[in-house]
């Protein structure tokens, strides 16, 4: 599951994003990766500040396009298509280069992306980045949710963990995610249920409880509200469109 600001979705191999400063984000693999099944996930990331080459470097005329790209990154950017493939190859290659060459390759990637049409804004235009302290705190809340969403989870538990009152945390959480705590947890559970429905290892009732719902009626109601169809129809459509998965 991928969390970036007010956006929650599943992610897969090759996912590539450019995230601006102070945007809370968390990537968490499916549960099999945490149960010693021999599965291994790897990632490559580059962290840099806006002024890592000097306060005004990206303001010079030659860097005008890159400046615009970095400004767009304040809403998160997903890199798709041929651009995704190219940048991933560059990132892998960078690992074997000398520091100076790595820097030049990073600038090359940013320049390339500044003219790419294979990019998509991730966050809603109303999203506002947090300060660094708030980013750490909301990330801690998201991590808590991801570890516990398949069990009974209460907003008071997280509020207490962050030394906040229930009312303060509820306002804080909605301000930073644009969702209520309960809606956010439900969205995570629905995403998990969708993944289990595609794997076809459990029946629909089992998936209800493995996704953190405490009864079938709630599960079916929330699933239809979020996805638009029933869990049964979702599974049926997936296997009709992906016969090789059967």
The answer to whether 185 and 149 are in contact (CB under 8 A) is yes
Alpha-carbon span 240 to 158, nearest angstrom = 41
Let me know whether 58 and 19 are in one domain: yes
Q: What are the two backbone dihedrals, phi and then psi, of residue 48, each rounded to the nearest 5 degrees? A: -145, 150
Let me know whether 115 and 138 are in one domain: no
CA dihedral for 197, 199, 203, 208, sign (positive or negative): negative
Sheet containing 2-4: give its strands across: 7-9, 2-4, 25-27
Let me know whether 18 and 88 are in one domain: yes
Alpha-carbon span 95 to 146, nearest angstrom = 30
pLDDT value of position 27: 85
Let me know whether 111 and 28 are in one domain: yes
Let me know whether 101 and 200 are in one domain: no
Alpha-carbon span 204 to 122, nearest angstrom = 31
H helix count then E strand count, the chain: 10, 6
CA atoms lying within 13 Å on the CB side of residue 105: 18
Alpha-carbon span 170 to 46, nearest angstrom = 33
Alpha-carbon span 177 to 180, nearest angstrom = 8
Let me know whether 116 and 142 are in one domain: no
Beta bridge partners, 77, equal 18, 121
Alpha-carbon span 58 to 51, nearest angstrom = 8
pLDDT value of position 243: 55
pLDDT value of position 142: 87
Let me know whether 102 and 9 are in one domain: yes
Let me know whether 107 and 153 are in one domain: no
Let me know whether 96 and 150 are in one domain: no
Q: Is residue 16 part of a domain?
A: yes
Q: Of 73, 99, 121, which residue sits at a domain end?
A: 121
| Domain at 172, CATH number | 1.10.10.60
Let me know whether 62 and 170 are in one domain: no
pLDDT value of position 125: 62
Q: Is residue 126 part of a domain?
A: no
Q: Is residue 171 part of a domain?
A: yes
Q: How many domains does the chain have?
A: 2
What's the Cα-to-Cα distance from 219 to each of 186, 201, 211, rounded to whole Å?
A: 9, 18, 9
Q: Is residue 127 part of a domain?
A: no
Let me know whether 70 and 143 are in one domain: no
Q: Of 87, 121, 155, which residue sits at a domain end?
A: 121
Alpha-carbon span 5 to 121, nearest angstrom = 12
Beta bridge partners, 21, equal none
User: Each residue's pLDDT tens digit in the chain (246 positions)?
Assistant: 787 876 778 888 999 999 998 787 888 887 778 777 788 889 999 999 888 999 899 999 999 999 999 999 988 999 999 999 999 999 999 999 999 999 999 999 999 999 999 999 988 765 665 555 567 788 888 889 888 999 999 899 999 989 999 999 999 888 888 789 999 899 889 888 888 888 878 999 999 999 999 999 999 999 999 888 899 998 888 776 655 554
Let me know whether 8 and 58 are in one domain: yes
Per the structure, the complete domain to which residue 156 belongs is given by 132-245
Long-range contacts (CB closer than 8 Å, 24 or more residues apart) made by 87-96: 87/16, 87/112, 87/113, 88/14, 88/16, 91/44, 91/46, 92/44, 95/44
Based on the number of CB atoms within 10 Å of its own CB, is 209 exposed (0-12), middle (13-18) or buried (19 or more)? Answer: middle
pLDDT value of position 8: 77
Q: Of 121, 149, 176, which residue sits at a domain end?
A: 121
């Amino acid at each position: 599951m991928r969390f970036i600001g007010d956006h929650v979705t599943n992610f897969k191999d090759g996912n590539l994003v450019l995230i601006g400063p102070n945007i809370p984000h968390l990537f968490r693999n499916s549960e099999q990766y945490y149960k010693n099944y021999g599965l291994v996930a790897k990632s490559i990331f580059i962290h840099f500040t806006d002024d890592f080459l000097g306060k005004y470097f990206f303001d010079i005329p030659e860097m005008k396009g890159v400046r615009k790209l970095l400004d767009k990154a304040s809403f998160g950017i997903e890199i798709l298509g041929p651009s995704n493939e190219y940048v991933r190859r560059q990132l892998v290659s960078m690992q074997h280069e000398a520091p100076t060459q790595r820097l030049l390759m990073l600038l090359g990637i940013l320049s390339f992306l500044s003219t790419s049409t294979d990019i998509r804004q991730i966050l809603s235009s109303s999203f506002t980045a947090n300060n660094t302290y708030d980013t750490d705190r909301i990330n801690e809340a998201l991590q808590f949710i991801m570890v516990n969403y398949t069990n009974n989870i209460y907003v008071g538990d997280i509020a207490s963990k962050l030394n906040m009152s229930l009312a303060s945390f509820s306002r804080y959480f909605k301000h930073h995610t644009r969702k209520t705590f309960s809606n956010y947890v439900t969205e995570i559970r629905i995403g998990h249920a969708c993944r289990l429905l595609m794997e076809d290892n459990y029946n629909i009732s089992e998936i209800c409880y493995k996704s953190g719902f405490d009864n079938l009626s709630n599960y079916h109601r929330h699933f239809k509200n979020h996805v638009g169809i029933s869990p049964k129809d979702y599974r049926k459509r997936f296997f009709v469109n992906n016969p090789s998965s059967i």
